[in-house]
Each structure stands twice: as C-alpha cells, then as structure tokens.
Structure 1
Amino acid sequence: MSRPKPKTILVVEDEEFNRIYFEELLNQIHCRVVIAKNGIEAVELCKNNSDIDLVLMDIKMPLMNGYEATQEIKKIRPNLPIIAQTAFALLGDKKKSLENGCDDYVSKPVKKDTLIKIIQKHLTI
C-alpha cells in the first residue's frame, strides 16, 4: 500500500527564523515546503507550480504585502487555501485578512497544535 503524496505548502515569510520554524514544523507532519521571501515570489510560485496545496502567507513583507499577494494569487488560483499569519494580532486583523481573500488566520507566535488544526481544516494530511 503506497502512502499518499505529501501535501505541498508554500511558506511566504521574509524573516529567516520564522521560515526555519515553519519548515521544521511542516516537515514533522510530512508536508513538502516551498519558500517565498516576499509577495512577488509567492505570486510567481503559485502561477508556475500547480503542486502547491496551501499557502501560509505572512502579511507584513517587503515589495508586495500579504494582502496584495493573496488578491493576486486568488485571481490565478481561486480555490487555493491561503492562511494569513501575522505578528500584529490586532482586533481587526482576522477580519481584514478574510476581507482580502485569505481563507483563515493565525497569529504569531504560531503554536504547532494551532497551525496543524488550521491546516487540517483546509487539507487532508
């Protein structure tokens, strides 16, 4: 019996420490990780890589922020789940993330169990 193909998750994050943290965490649940360091890279990767199953989108980034990147990705792949992640957990952040096309929201620091639950809500892993 063969194992199902691992899910591919695009981590969009400009901070190296956070990228490493997400990569370690997602590898533990047998996901393949693709990295983008800004919104422009994220849009290009989603445009050119149909294997991406879910996006973990940092909101505050250089060049193109997470809201703009989410809107561009949704034009190309409207059904691709995008989870906003931000260190600025202000009261309106979740609402603003959902209004800008994100499918879910998690605030930093991200706890492993919380992230896994949110990913499982959108993917079968």
Structure 2
Amino acid sequence: MSKSGQKTILIVEDEEFNRIYFEELLNQINCKVVIAKNGIEAVEICKKNASIDLVLMDIKMPLMNGYEATQAIKKIRPNLPIIAQTAFALLGDKKKSLENGCDDYVAKPVKKDTLVKLINKHLTL
C-alpha cells in the first residue's frame, strides 16, 4: 500500500502499555498513529487534524472520559468513526458506548484480528 493511502488512527488511551500495544498493532497494518492521553487531548487533536480517519477511544480516563470525548468529537466531526474500548467489559457497556455516539465497541484485551476486522468495517485499508 502506498503512503498516500495510509489511514491515520487516533489512539486515545491513558495507560502507556495499552498505547504501545495498540500502536504496534496499527503499525503492522500500515496505519499512521496519533496519540492522545486523555479525552481533552483527543477533542483538540480532532479539531486541529482533519487527517484523522478513525478514533480508538478508551472509555475510562482521567480529565474527560471517553463518552464525553466522543460526544464532543461527534459535534465537530459527526462522520468520524469512533470505536470504544474498555477493560471493564460489563454487560451493557456496548449499548452504553453506542448510545453515547461510538460507532463500535471492543473489550480489552484486544486481539489483533478483532481490531483489524473492526477497523476494516469502518475504513477501507
């Protein structure tokens, strides 16, 4: 794939290990990665960077949680796909994520194949 067709994915994650894990997975499938460590940074990045193609949004974060960040981002870029991800996979989390504006949901730990399928569902890699 040429660099011009490369997709840019924003990883919104406050845990360093998880950020590194997602970054490694996305680099393996030729995606450019942008990092935000909290919801406030994510909203600012989405305001300033029109090249973001998809957001991988952690739900449990300090300062601004993933639901609040998703709602703010959707006001700016309503068609930007946002995939919620959470380590606390409780019954109803998927429904709550979708109700708060996320386009999809994945529970941690996330397997590469699962993540690739979700990204492909929302983007053409």
TM-score by length of 1: 0.98
Question: Following the alignment from structure 2 to structure 1, what is the Cα–Cα distance between the partners of residues 103 and 77?
Answer: 13
Question: Following the alignment from structure 1 to structure 2, what is the Cα–Cα distance between the partners of residues 29 and 37?
Answer: 22
Unaligned runs of 5+ in 1: none
Q: CA RMSD in A?
A: 0.8
Q: CA deviation at 1:81?
A: 0.0
Number of the residue aligned with 2:42:
42
Number of the residue aligned with 1:83:
83
**Alignment of 1:53 onto 2:53:** yes
Number of the residue aligned with 1:93:
93
Q: CA deviation at 1:16?
A: 0.2
Q: SS at the partner of 1:106?
A: strand
Number of the residue aligned with 2:105:
105
Q: SS at the partner of 1:98?
A: helix
Q: SS at the partner of 1:79?
A: coil
Question: Following the alignment from structure 1 to structure 2, what is the Cα–Cα distance between the partners of residues 95 and 106?
Answer: 12
Q: Deviations over 1:89-124 (max 9, x none)?
A: 001000000000000000000010000000000000
**Deviant stretches of 4+, over 6 Å:** none
Question: Following the alignment from structure 2 to structure 1, what is the Cα–Cα distance between the partners of residues 36 and 5?
Answer: 22
Q: Deviations over 1:56-93 (max 9, x none)?
A: 00000000000000000000000000000000100100
Q: CA deviation at 1:5?
A: 2.2
Number of the residue aligned with 2:63:
63
Number of the residue aligned with 2:15:
15
TM-score by length of 2: 0.98
